[in-house]
Structure 1
Amino acid sequence: MKSKRLETLCRKLSNVCTRVKARMPLLRQLEFAFRSTDILSVGQPGVSPGELVESAGKMPAGPTAETAVLLQTARELLRAHGADRIARELRVEWNSRLKTAAGRADYCQKLISLNPQLFEHPTEIDRTLRHELAHILAQLRAGRRRVLPHGAEWRQACCDLGIADEKRCHNLPFKVSESARRYVYKCPQCQRDFPRVRRIMRAVACLACCRAHNGGEFDARFRLKLVRL
């Protein structure tokens, strides 16, 4: 009697193990799908980023065909100018933390961040992408040498990327929530005021004075001083 019960129990355990093994590939596929967040879907060929995102009208919730087209465009532009390694590592994202800036380039992270408010100005998306890409291309060409954010190297990169008349700042009417600028800093040299929302926690100097008197390098003589809370 006991042997029959034991045999029945073993058979049930065997059936359970078989079902678990059968489900394992599916579970592994699901796990892989959730982990593969860097895979971007491919957009339609021959369509510009502005045309693609115009119908969206809002910030994408995650990697989309629009993002993929932007990334593909940026990589092709880099490869066309001999930057194959950077092209392979480059990433493009939409960053809702950007408020007044249309975009931002991080050479160390090989990352271009775009302001989601550009979706309200779809024709400016491609130009902003090239603007930020010019920063990365300019620094790549300079190697370890420091370059000015919008200096001669950046302007040359803009020309190479097809935006020779690019301005250093945009004039897009981005909506910004006004915050009280509680802190006012002053340059001891030119006496210019620098209002800030938050207290400056590191050594910051007046850029205009550093350029005029020290070749654009940091100079403690022009370090900003807090004059009013």
Structure 2
Amino acid sequence: MLPMHLGESRSERKTPENMPSLRQLEFAFQTVAASLWHAPRFAQQSAYKASVLEAKARQLLRSLGAKRIATELRVEWNSRLKTAAGRADYRQKLISLNPKLVEHPAEIDRTLRHELAHILAQFRQKSRRQIAPHGPEWQQACQDLGIADEKRCHTLPFPPRRYTPRFIYRCPNCRRDFPRVRKVRCTVACLACCRAHNCGEFDIRFRLKLLTV
């Protein structure tokens, strides 16, 4: 693996508080609530039952000519979802919804349709080519599902998820620290020092040293 600079630009990963979560088929919250999952309360609200939402999603697919996939589709509530309102898995024909949505009932139907649009868009792609998660095919599916103005992310008023850095790397020259949530898997160097002392080229003298594990 080629060595990398670490300090800024494309070669620098985001700091923990700004670190994004990039998952292709997830309908990402911009923020996350504290744990709100309560199974008995959910069970009492029939409109939120997975079987009811599943029947609705299947009916939507059938109305759009996707009868074959409608028979395979499943919908579940998944308390393991932390930073996403929902997730669509085309291979499993599965839509997972975040239980935190119960605090925002109006978002449940929209999230279901958002994730269903991922399934429908990929189903319409006759070849095995993967389509862009929120590309034109998905946008068309959203329109067909009645959410033509759909955005990639919600703006629900939840506090942001915090990441605690477990690893601290330090430049042996300028002594700058680089906190990271995950361990760096390749050789990295301080970009600022490489620019100042080696015309921006990688220099082993400025290789970052791991301080904590």
The alpha-carbon deviation at position 135 of structure 1 amounts to: 0.2
Q: Comparing both structures, which one devotes a greater share of its residues to strand? A: 2
* Residue in 2 that maps onto 1:168: 152
The one of 136, 155, 159 equivalent to 1:152 is 136
TM-score scaled by structure 1? Answer: 0.54
TM-score normalized with structure 2 length: 0.57
Whole-angstrom distance in 1 between the partners of 2:129 and 2:76? 27
Check 1:67–1:197 CA distance in 2 against 1; reply closer, same or farther (3 A cut): same
Does the 8 A contact of 2:83 with 2:161 survive in 1?
no
CA distance in structure 2 between the aligned counterparts of 1:227 and 1:137, rounded to whole angstroms: 46
Q: Are 1:120 and 2:99 counterparts?
A: no
Matches of 1:156 and 1:101, distance apart in 2: 22
State the distance in 2 between where 1:166 and 1:126 align: 12
Q: Percent identity?
A: 65
Take 2:122 and 2:209, find their aligned partners in 1: how far apart are those partners? 37
Return the structure number with greater helix share: 1
User: 1:9: which partner in 2?
Assistant: none
In structure 2, stretches of 5+ residues that fail to align are 1-35, 169-178, 186-206
Hey, what does 1:22 align to over in structure 2? Answer: none
Tell me, in whole angstroms, the C-alpha distance in 1 between the residues paired with 2:103 and 2:73. Answer: 25
The 1:177–1:75 alpha-carbon spacing in structure 2 relative to 1, beyond 3 Å, is same
1:60 pairs with 2:39: yes
Is 1:70 matched with 2:49?
Answer: no
CA deviation profile, 1:20-50 (whole Å, cap 9, x unmatched): xxxxxxxxxxxxxxxxxxxxxxxxxxxxxxx
The root-mean-square deviation of aligned C-alpha atoms, in Å, is 2.9
Q: 1:157 to 1:176 in 2, by over 3 A?
A: same
How far apart, CA to CA, are the structure 1 residues paired with 2:209 and 2:65? 50
Give the drift of 1:146.
1.5
Q: Quickly say closer, same or farther: Cα 1:200–1:172, change in 2 above 3 A.
A: farther
How many pairs does the alignment contain?
A: 139
Q: Does 1 or 2 have the higher relative contact order (CA < 8 Å, sep 6+)?
A: 2
| Equivalent residues of 2:86, 2:96 under 8 A apart | yes
